[in-house]
Structure 1
Amino acid sequence: MDGGVLEARDRPRDPREVLAERLAAEGLPRDASPRRWERLGDVVVLRVPSIARERARDLGRVVGEVLHARTVVEDVSGVHGPFRTPDVRVLWGDGTETEHVEDGIRFRLDVAKIMFSSGNLAERTSLAARVRPSEVVVDLFAGIGYFAIPVAVRARPSRVYACEANPAAFAYLEANIRRNRASNVVPLRGDCRETAPAGVAEWVLMGHFDAPRYLDVAVRALRDEGRILVHGLFPREDVPGRAEAEVAAAARSAGADVLEARARVVKSYAPSIRHAVVELRARRGPKGLSGRGPSGPP
């Protein structure tokens, strides 16, 4: 400092500005710059603006160089099928397998085979802060361990049962359990209707948009009174009121005595659609005792 004047310091430039300049230098219009992207480890996933369609690979190369990524892939049409498999194509780079670190948890995945939503971080963090060490968690749609592993590592519950039917996701689930030393996670391969334990849980996690169809499995998994977290897509105007009422009614039909239902928005899914979770505090009624599913250990 000289004469009371602070020396100017170089500040990191906004990557969007750098990207726009690089695209212009490549002869691409500024509007060719993607509005947003998702970085998973050293892989960048983006939507290609229509104006850049004919030069998508040039766009991918510039994005990769500016963001120091190893691979850039295009999200072609979202996710599809019961396993929510991504529809992507590589624009630049080599290899779609990566390791993504989120809040200290390491997730290995292949972005061409497995979906990952960074927008769910707040929900994962909040859940891990609420589960107690003495409790048991059953995750009916564990994927690669999105919820199961952060809960297991942060909250240290006595056990987390993680059900997953997708063979590719299950392989990464097992790898991520080892990677994070989450020895209290029990991976269960197969449809949760067949694999989820009965009568063991204080928490049941349902992180799949088809969750309401499996509420009977969730109710059966409860030890007695517990919480069921039901994820779903709802019209914006239906959250919280109608979403709470509809999910609570479905849970009652599945054999639950619903004591409380509270909905919260996780993120915007589309302009008029919200990804929300309806948290039920419920008891397992007589009807919820029926069904197939192994019993957990005493």
Structure 2
Amino acid sequence: MKQHSPPYRKNFQWISKMNRKFEILLKNAGEGNYAIPSFNIYNLEGATAVIKAAEELKSPVILQILPTALETGGAPLVQMCLEIVKRSKVPATVHLDHCSDPDIIFTAMAWGINSIMVDGSGMSCEENLQFTREMTLKIKAAGGSVEAELGKMTGEEDGQTLSSQEELMTDPDKAADFVDQTGISALAVCIGNIHGKYKNPPVLDFKRLKEIRKRVSVPLVLHGTSGLPEEMIQMAMDAGISKFNVNTELRSIYLKTMASCFSSDPGVELVTIMKKSITAMKEAAKDKIRLFRSIDKA
């Protein structure tokens, strides 16, 4: 994927107006003591469900695309998300999630995505810092925003599995230095959260989170919220989290809805599956919006 030239030039005047919306959404959330719900999107049904949920509850929202989904859906997937965001009645934007490939980053930007999660968490601390700083300079020079991660999460994301031995929580002192040296717009923290489903009851280090919040000036992000109890979500927001990522739950609901449709009627129409999937995912997204206290924050 090395198509760095913009394939949709006619839309770039509007796209340029989206610059920094990611930062504005997170800043407002931090000041208002709520969090921006950020949902991973794979298709039309998911994007439609999330925006409908956000509009019904008057919540700001972020549509996120993982690199694997981007490589599969290409520019049409991005343009679909951008068009839905453009037509949305609530503040919304499109974000590239968990990317460590510069080619994919630059291609996503050429296609109109203006905020990127530059993911160097699989590298050494020094390599992560250098990679993130280099990418941030280029992305910000083009008018974009950057989320990055310090530490390493366990679990499954984007087809990758990490063992518990590899886990490295975010160091509060290193976090401050990392933010200062890279110039990122938001920091994803590792405090015991994992990608995917929690096999054991989750244990989050809130003391660590509060220390990071004291030392870091940019908004904080928590990945791996699927399966976290409501109490922990509320504590995380009170301790300074301004954005929550949601992937596993909506994806699972979509697949379960499809399976249910086929099992009850093998000849079911595809449009029927689409409609039922949108309805099911919309209700799940609304539950998350309520949980993240972003109702009426549009």
TM-score of the superposed pair, with normalisation by structure 2? 0.26
Structure in which a larger fraction of residues adopt helix: 2
Structure richer in strand, relative to its length: 1
Greater RCO (Cα-Cα under 8 Å, separation 6 or more): 2
